[in-house]
Chains A and B, each alone.
Chain A
Amino acid sequence: MTLRAQADALLDMAGGLATNEEALDRIAAARDRLAQPLRVALVGRVKAGKSTLLNALVGDLVAATDAAECTLIPTEYHDGITYRAWKVHRDGRIDHALFLRDDRGARIDIGDSPVEDIVRLLVEFPSPQLRDLTIVDTPGLGSANREVSQRTTDLVGGQDIAPADAVVYLLRNWHAMDRDFLACFNDSLGVDVPAFNAVAVLSRADEIGGGGPDALELASTLAARWASSDVLSSVVSGVLPVAGLLAQSALGLTNVEFQALAAIASCAPAERAAAFVSVARTCAPDRLLTVPAETRRRLVAQLGFHGLRHAVGWIAANPFANAGDLAHELVRQSGLDALRTVLFDRFAARTDVLKAVQALDVLEELQRSGQLGLSDDLDAELERVTVNAFELTELRTIEDLVSGHHQLPKDLHHEARQLLGERGTTPAQRLGAVAESDVGPLLGERLTRWRAIATSPQSLPDEQRVARVVVGSLSRIGLSDHRTGSVSA
């Protein structure tokens, strides 16, 4: 019986014990959420680049982006048959909203409705990436308009009618407010899986350290430093540097724009260097005359200053490349792939587990607040599931490895994380098998090795603890038919 099924059964059992309407409603909502895709919220301070990152992640320009603060209402993005939008009013009514796309980008027209009256927007568009995942774009925290920020706090802190299951937290710099927010998010989950469902993104990585050519390297160093800090590692499972603007600009890159970039690349290196000192010089009418100043200005706005310089430099070094190649290069540079892996492999693959965690959390809270009638059966079953569910044990062990609570030699550390399913839960992903035929031999080899670690008196306590869980995971692969896919999800 999967953890999700067990959680479902527990909710059934609890339904009969509810002592009031509110408890019944919460149980029904928890059951509904079990059936929905995983909800990942993109959260961060104002202008952290959330909407830009969303566009890059879903591979479509669906969220409005601007230099000024522009996301004022939490907006959910779902997979659907066409581009359309709805607005959810404070009183629960749902109306159609206009989804508009023109040369100014995408935006949602909410008509005459005041912003304060709308609690969320729902956007639907065809997106294979969103079949197992709903992404929620949120208003910025720390906004000068505090009511706007409060909507995000409610959404993530569990006060919202449809809270998030996982969070991608965008940071440009580290502020006490960020730590408090993430700690609040972790606290809102009663079950002990801290930090697994939160990942931090060092956003706008292309602007770090003045946006020079080494900006992304600096961002990687900074992200690694943050990830190793006690404060951050206790609230998120990792820190990834991502330049969302680079990835987003790759989406809409046209041949015309590529040609303009190539024309700039054709200027003499000294001329380019003199212009690339500042945005003002890059866009000056008397410089880089091969391309009109207005086009240059638009390119800077689209790619960012770092992106423009990188793209031009790359084209100069790859004279036979085309727009597709450049788009590929920009996405590679942006660091988006690593984040996609986390979202679509780690979070999405564990949707059921994360959902079940939320359901168990609801039940525990209802029990604590006395909204469920006394039942030894429910108590015992809830405790049994919470303590014994192997999926939760795996999550906790990954968490302990990520946070440094369990210390292992470097090679064992990385292998353990992979075998426990951090980078995907299919047997092939866990074992790092290139071909299906490799799974069997690799499984045997790993099982022998980790069993030895688990039982050897030479092993340190941490090594033994982790090895026991890894052996459990490998045994489950052995027990299941690995050709059917994921093991624990």
Chain B
Amino acid sequence: MRDFLIKLSKIERRYIYLALFLALTLPLIFPPNFPQKMSPTVKSVFEFIDTLPPGSHVLLSADYDASVLPEVDPMYRAVLKHCILRGVIPIGMTLYPQGAVLALDAFKEAEEYLGARRDTDYVFLGYQAGYQAVILGIGENIRSVFPKDYFGTPIDSIPAMRGVKNYKDIALVISFSGSSIPITWVIYAYSKYHQKVAAAVTAVSAADFYPYIQTGQFVGMLAGMKGAAEYEYTVGKIMKDNGIEKLPPAKAVKGMDANSIGHILIMLFIIIGNLGYFATKRRK
């Protein structure tokens, strides 16, 4: 037994790589669909939207580009679908030029899977330059910043925008970003207009935003692929409960399954290595 354990402490690299390769690829081919339990910060955002009365408006700002797509895009799609399923009207916009194309694709997916209708079930305003000027402008009158939507329709003739003038008519703003733009929303929208703000960010930048959750400046936060997977999983369940059979690809859940199995495998190797190490020490 001891010899076996000692051998385990000296496993060749190639076997570790093979095991990891299998651990990462097999879940992508045969997704186990592990149940994703929501962490507290993600749950805060979810419950906020879930308890909004139908007809409320939520501003989804796609402030990201293709470099953070794998983590942030699934979040945008999941939150967007959640809003539509609950009868909440998502207003899409972006402060990043590349964000417009990515966000538009998410809205098209919502049309395909949920039958969402433009201008009735959702609004897409597109891109506007100016960062804080845009955020401040929405605080006064959203029409001063976006007189027309992305498709050229005047805001006043969009049924879904009826009664929406500024932050007083918007229940929540969520900034989806790979940088520090959510903080800009806190500085200008939350501090000046007391607008509720949430963040959906990459795992690497999440640590910088925890202080804002602790102070209540963020309602909650979706962090990294884990946050995306948790939200995506829950929205998938809601879609099934609503009798929707054709579900969109759950990229974050798939990725997170592979990620989790990979992590567990690494932890297993560490435990095995330590058992072997102890066995070697004992022998000496």
- Are chains A and B native binding partners rather than an unrelated pairing? no
Which residues does A use to contact B, with CB under 8 Å? none
Measured CB to CB, the residues of B under 8 A from A are: none
